[in-house]
Structures are given as structure tokens and as C-alpha cells.
Amino acid sequence: MSGDNETDYSCAKWGALFSNFNHYFRDEAVINNTEHASVAMGIGIFCLYIFVIAFGACGNLLTFSAVIRNPAMRTNRNLFIFNLAMSDFVLCTVTAPTTLYTIMYFFWPFGTVMCKLAGSLQGINIFVSSFSISSIGLDRYVVIIFPTKRDRQRHFMLFCFVFIWLISFGLAVPLLIASDLKPIHHDPLCNLYFDICHEQNFIWGDMIVSKEVYTISVMAIQYCLPLASLVFVDEWRREVVPLQTQLHQWALHHC
């Protein structure tokens, strides 16, 4: 009987210890030489995240409403903005709360599947946003080249939508594979299981593309691709539009 009581006490003690250690923002050190921050800082970060999440979600919902309710707003450019808003809405309602949880707490209680989804969704949001911005620039290029061919413009838009989401999911696959649980403390006797969710370096080591190459590629896609597409279209517009205007004036003068 005393052995059972001793076991129960030990389990309760370990459970309370890990439960307290799980909170990153605390005013006292649960275990010596472990990182933690003040509760006041935690409250500030929490309030800031909630404000950004609520503001972003409401703003994107207003974008959805404007495009859906007003047929005049359903231009190609606005539909790309709608696609961008869809990605941002997922970011605000899913990715940001998940990130907030990982900031507030050390351990991940939601299982392997949710860990992998949380890791990959962030990458998908980044890629969809970058490709949507690039597509807005390319859509301007198509409008300049084919100003009267609405069907071609519409087909280009649909192709971009499918391409954006497919390629974004594909590029996020390495994050899906590399994100996994790392056991910190497993005690079946006390039914205590504590894991952390992050990208595992040994999984990256088994993949064809290294983590460093993937990170650099993502940075290039996120920043360089949208910038390059917008610069290209702007330079093209400066050269083509004046030429089209001159040809139009010449035709009017000689006809």
C-alpha cells in the first residue's frame, strides 16, 4: 500500500514539475539554468498576437465579402487578391495561433499529424502569398499583350490559381516530412508524455535537398520572384505602352 502511495506521489510530483516547466513565461525558475521569461512579457506577446490575428482575420473577411457580393469587383487582379486574402486568412486563423502556442509553451500535446500540418502550413502560406503577388504582375503583362482577348486572360488566371496551390503544396512537402515530435519525457507508468514539435535535423539529413539549400531557395522564391515579376512587367509596360500609343495615333492620322 505504501508503495502505491509512493508511486502516486512520485507521478504527481513529476506531473506538476513538467506542467510548470511547460510554461515559458513564468516569474520563477522551475529547474535551474533553464530559459524562461516574465509573465508580464508573456501577457504582452499574447495580447499583441490576438490583436494581429483578429485584425487580419476581419480584414480578409471584408475582402472576401467585397469580392463575392460585388460582381464588378471580380476582375482578374481582384481575384488574385482574393487568393492572397485566402492564404492570409489561413495564416491568421491557423498558423498564427499555432505559432503563439509554441511561443507560450514548450511541449506539443496535439500529436504527430498536427505537428506536421503546423510545420507545412506556414510554408504553404508563404508560397501562396509570394506566387499570388507574382501572378498579379504577370496578369498585367497578359492584359498588355492581349488587351482584347478576355478568354485568354481568364484561362491564364485559372492556370495561375491551380499552379499556385499545387506548387505551394509541393514546395512545402520537405517541411511536412521534417516536422516531427521529439520525445522529452515518456513515462507510461505515470501516463506522462511530453514532446516538442520542430524540424528534425536527422530527417533533413536523409532528404535529397539539404536544409540550407531549401532555406536559401525559399528566401529566393519569397522575395526575388515577386520583385522580378513586378520589375519585368513595369519595364515592359514602359516600353510597349508608348509604342502602342504611337501606332494608334499613326493609324488615326493616316486612315
pLDDT at 251: 54
The rounded Cα 91 to chain-centroid distance in angstroms is 5
223-to-43, 94, 127, 238 alpha-carbon distances in Å: 32, 23, 10, 23
Buried b / exposed e over 226-250, threshold 16 CB at 10 Å, is beebbeebeeeeeeeeeeeeeeeee
pTM: 0.75
Sign of the alpha-carbon torsion through 19, 22, 23, 26: positive
Which residues contact residue 99 at a Cβ distance below 8 angstroms, ignoring those fewer than 6 apart?
A: 49, 122
If we measure between CA atoms, which residue out of 215, 65, 227, 57 comes closest to residue 130? Answer: 227
pLDDT at 187: 77
- For residues 30 and 22, is the Cβ–Cβ distance under 8 A? no
pLDDT at 239: 62
Domains observed in the chain: 2-254 (1.20.1070.10)
Which residues contact residue 86 at a Cβ distance below 8 angstroms, ignoring those fewer than 6 apart?
A: 60, 64, 128
Per-residue pLDDT of the chain (255 residues; tens, 9 = 90+): 444 554 555 777 777 777 777 888 877 766 666 667 788 888 999 999 999 999 999 999 998 888 888 888 777 778 888 888 998 999 999 999 999 999 899 889 898 999 999 989 988 988 888 888 878 777 766 666 666 556 666 777 788 888 889 999 999 999 999 999 988 877 777 777 788 898 888 888 888 888 888 888 888 877 777 777 777 766 766 665 555 555 455 555 555
